[in-house]
Structure 1
Amino acid sequence: MTVILIGALLIVAGVVYMADAVLRRGRLSDPAPSPAKPGPTLEPRRRGLGFLGLTQNWPGLLMVAIGVVLLLSVVVL
């Protein structure tokens, strides 16, 4: 039972860590109007998909992977 709880907590903690890592990298919106689009927009300029990289998210991915291994070890045993 303890292994299941630890695995579930690691998965939740990994997902929360990755979400927090994305939010810590800066504002998601730019209130200043850009020359191409009139008015404020929620689309940041030149943000790209860099927030999905492994270099920033490896601790969260590691927590999720360990949690999955713990949950699967209970099923196999």
Structure 2
Amino acid sequence: MAVVLIGALLIVAGVVYMAGAALWRGRLSDPAPARAAPDRSTPNLATPGPTLEPRRRGVGFLGLSQNWPGLLMMAVGFILLLSVVVL
């Protein structure tokens, strides 16, 4: 039973690590600098200009070199879960 719990925890920890690593690498969006004249006030809009969608991030954050600790945790957890099923 302990092997199953450790395996499940390692899989969850690997997923959380990879999600956290992707978020810690940089900003999700690059807000545009304010181009309004200093004497003019900017309107209060319900949805400000920049969104949370990255402009030029690509899928480089999914690379193996950045995510190997999370992938390793998930692989060890998967092996532990499989070892319980096989034995």
TM category, shorter: 0.7 to 0.9
Structure 1: state its 5+ residue gaps. Answer: 34-38
The one-letter code sitting in structure 1 at the alignment partner of 2:5 is L
Match of 1:64 in 2: 74
Matches within 5 A, 1:9-48: 9-32=9-32, 39-48=49-58
TM-score normalised by the chain length of structure 2: 0.77
Q: Over the residues paired in the alignment, what is the CA RMSD in angstroms?
A: 1.2
**Distance in 2 of aligned mates of 1:46 and 1:73:** 42
Aligned counterpart for 1:76 among listed residues 70, 74, 86? 86
Structure 2: state its 5+ residue gaps. Answer: 34-48
What whole-Å deviation, never above 9, does each CA across 1:29-51 have from its counterpart, x for those lacking one?
12217xxxxx3233322211110
Shift of 1:75: 0.5
Overall identity of the aligned pairs, in %: 85
Which has more radius of gyration? Answer: 2
Match of 1:36 in 2: none
What whole-Å deviation, never above 9, does each CA across 1:14-64 have from its counterpart, x for those lacking one?
00000000000111112217xxxxx32333222111100000000000000
Q: Which structure carries more relative contact order (alpha carbon 8 Å, separation 6+)?
A: 2
Shift of 1:3: 0.4
Q: Which moved more, 1:4-13 or 1:40-49?
A: 40-49
